[in-house]
Each structure stands twice: as structure tokens, then as C-alpha cells.
Amino acid sequence: MNKRKITVAVTGLNNTDNPGPGIPVIRGILESDFFDARIIGLAYENLEPGIYMDIVDKVYNVPYPSTGTDQLLARIEYINSVENIDVLIPNFDAELYSFMKTEDKLKAMGIHTFLPTIEQFEERHKSNLPEYGKKYKVDVPKSRAITSISELYTLKPDFQFPFLVKGKFYDAYVCYNNEQATTQFNKLSSKWGLPIIIQEFVHGTEVNVIALGDGEGNTISAVPMRKQYITDKGKAWGGITIDDEEMMELTKHIIKETKWRGGMELELIKTNDNKYFLIEINPRIPAWVYLAVGAGQNIPEALLKLALGIDVKAFTDYEVGKMFVRYSYDLITDINTFQQLSVNGEL
């Protein structure tokens, strides 16, 4: 079969100890049996490792979404005039709102996306999780959004130490006293802004599901995994696919009830009495997506098909016991490469 030629723009090239999903998404696309893809990397920083990994065909700098949607859109418009992008896959929570907001304008340029609706994105926010749990009949830990340090001292009796202090977009820390909670509040608020979320600490095993919804309530893909090794940033540095029908049913329930559109990750705690608490929903493909590819479900390929309106059948199985282990690797490049990107904004 002749593969369909396609140009795909991907963000999230920061393949560091806190990796973005961009590189594993690209790896999945490059292993597609259906698409012959030209990859355009969109980089926010000139030192994102994915720029130098010989995995993208062209790299362009793009402005941070915080600079304004108009600037981001103007830059994408220029890149598209050169590259004729078919599909754009954003991979950071913080940039999703800008791309969701401009979805129609991107479509007018010929650029397809497959993202959650703004309503879907907003209602699963960490600060809205208690209401989310009630609405969709899902167990969630007790949580509260706060906007000042003084509120840390008003949490009792509802919250007892230890509890989690979580950033608006990323990062979470277990705190055992007010001093630790204050430190993490300051760190997270300066990094991600307000509110900060205080969440009940549920004892158990952390398990995760990567999934893909078609926007009509159908689950196209779902692969559960248990983290084998976790970094001090809370990121999985190793994991293994597991056989857990209850996790799969919970995932299908959430996608059916919300009609979720696009990739997602459910972060769950499985307690010793086999109850599942939903602690977070990430509204995009997670950085461990290549494990799903290795287990038999090429989610990036399926996402491209959905974005282009190509019929895609739901995956029915995956390999249990597939593992991933991350590693660091020193890339050697030339200062001229870095300078070219810095000066010209493209490489």
C-alpha cells in the first residue's frame, strides 16, 4: 500500500527529565503504516533536545501562548505558508486553550486539529475535579482551590497532613506540614500562576490510562499502565502495561459521558481495597504514549486519521507486560546550528 503523504506540526520537543510528549508522538507517526509524514517541529526554547535529535525535518520557533493568541496565530500562518501543514498536534496543557480557541482559523488555513472542546477542557481542571466527580459519578479525592497562603491555615478540619499541593497546569508535591506547603505554594504559584490546588492524599498505587476519544462518546484507544519508577518531579521513568478491566471500564465511562475529543490521560490511585480515585485528567497525549505504540495501539496515527476525517476503527486489545524505561543521552551538535535557530527562528 502506498502511504499517504502528510505534513504534521508537533510541539513538545523538550525531551528532558520532565519530558514533553512531542518526541514519542513523532516516533509513533514515523512508524505509521498509513502515513508518510514530514515532521515540522514547533519549539518554544532553542535548547529543546528534540530540535537536535534528527527526528524532525524542519524546526521553527514559536512564541509562548502567554504572549497572545494573535502572535501565535500569525507565526503559525507564516510557517504554514512555507510548509503547508495538514495536521497540528499541540502537546502542552498551557498551549491548548490558544489552539482550541483558534481551531476555526487554523481550519481555514487548511490545518486540521483534533482537540477537546473548551467546555471539556475547562470542566476537567484540577480546581473543578470535585464537581466533575459528582457530575460523572467518579470517585475523586477531596480537593480545594486556594489563591493565598493564608488559606493554608484554614484547611482544617477538612484536610489533614499529608496532603498534595498541586500546580494549575503541572507539578504536585506531598506536604507534611505548613512550612512545606507554604514553600510549594510559592514555588508553584510563581511557575504556573493561581489557583493552587490542595488535594487529599489517598494511599494506594498510582496507575494511569492513556486514551483517545472520537468526540462522539466512543473510545478509540485505551492502554492502562503502572508506573515502575517515578522521578522527584513525579514523572514516570519506567512503566508497564497491565490488565485491569475496571480501569478500562472507567475510562470508557468517562469518554462516553463526556464525549471526549482527542487524547487524554487519566491519573488514578488504586487503594488497597481496590477502589479507584481519579486524581487528575490531562487533556492531551501524555509523554509515555510510545508505550501504547509498543503495546500495539498507535495512538498518534489514529489521532491523525481522526483529525483528517479518515475512518478509524477502535483498538480491541494490547499487549500486557510491555515495559518502557527512559534514559538520558548526550547529543553532540555544533554551535552554528544553535545560532542559526536563534538568529533566523527556523532550522
Same domain, 89 and 169: no
Q: Which of these three, 166, 200, 234, is where a domain ends?
A: 200
Under 8 Å CB-to-CB from 26, ≥6 apart: which residues?
10, 39, 50, 55, 56, 300
Q: Tell me which residue of 137, 181, 133 sits closest to 155, measured CA to CA.
A: 181
Domain C-terminal end among 171, 200, 229: 200
Q: pLDDT value at position 127?
A: 86
Residues 178 and 100 in one domain: no
* Domain co-membership, 15 together with 106: yes
- Assess whether 101 and 152 both reside in one domain: no
- The answer to the question of residue 54 being in a domain is yes
In a domain, 99, yes or no: yes
- 156 and 85 share one domain: no
Helix ranges, the chain (H): 22-30, 69-83, 93-101, 103-108, 118-123, 129-136, 178-192, 245-258, 289-294, 299-307, 335-344
* Full domain range(s) for residue 336: 4-113+330-344
Beta strand 172-175 with 219-230 is unpaired
Question: How many Å apart are CA 192 and CA 94, to the nearest integer?
Answer: 9
Comparing CA positions, the residue from 67, 75, 80, 69 lying closest to residue 7 is 80
pLDDT at residue 149, rounded to an integer: 93
**pTM assigned to the model:** 0.92
Residue 146, domain CATH = 3.30.1490.20
- Provide the pLDDT for residue 35: 98
- At 135-152, the pLDDT tens digits run 999 999 999 999 999 999
Q: Render each residue's pLDDT in the chain as its tens digit; 347 residues.
A: 799 999 999 999 998 888 899 999 999 999 999 999 999 999 999 999 999 999 999 999 999 988 989 999 999 999 999 999 999 999 999 899 999 999 999 999 999 999 999 999 999 998 899 999 999 999 999 999 999 999 999 999 999 999 999 998 878 899 999 999 999 999 999 988 999 999 999 999 999 999 999 999 999 999 999 998 877 767 788 999 999 999 999 999 999 999 999 999 999 999 999 999 999 999 999 999 999 999 999 999 999 999 999 999 999 999 999 999 998 889 899 999 989 999 999 98
> Which tens digits make up the pLDDT trace of 318-333?
999 999 999 888 989 9
* Total number of domains constituting the chain: 2
Q: Is residue 299 part of a domain?
A: no
Return the SS3 of 175: strand
Residue finishing a domain among 152, 177, 200: 200
- Alpha-carbon Rg for the chain, nearest whole angstrom, is 20
